[in-house]
Amino acid sequence: MKKFNYIKPKNLNSERVNWVISEQTRNIVAAFSEYSEYTESEVVDEFLKNILTDEEFVDWAMKKRNNKRLLKQLGLEEMEV
């Protein structure tokens, strides 16, 4: 029996940011957006979430003083010891 994949809601808490990125990075995002059929914003959002797989970054966040708010913002609150 094939498993049914539920549709997950998009993050409605988005806002515009004003970042300066290189032309090469813009081209990479645009090309991957075309390839994957996701919007450029969705591509950037998904790739940046991969930062949470960096164990050293997660360890750093876990060790910060008064880190409850930071862990909640990063979606790591369930990892708190």
In a domain, 6, yes or no: no
In a domain, 75, yes or no: yes
For 2-60, how does the pLDDT look when each residue is reduced to its tens digit (9 = 90+)? Answer: 677 777 777 667 888 899 999 999 999 999 999 999 999 999 999 998 998 999 988 88
Contact criterion met (CB below 8 Å) for 39 and 33:
yes
In a domain, 16, yes or no: no
In a domain, 74, yes or no: yes
Number of domains the chain contains: 1
Q: What is the pLDDT of residue 7?
A: 72
Give the ranges where the chain is alpha helix by DSSP (H).
23-36, 40-49, 55-63, 68-74
Contact criterion met (CB below 8 Å) for 67 and 77:
no
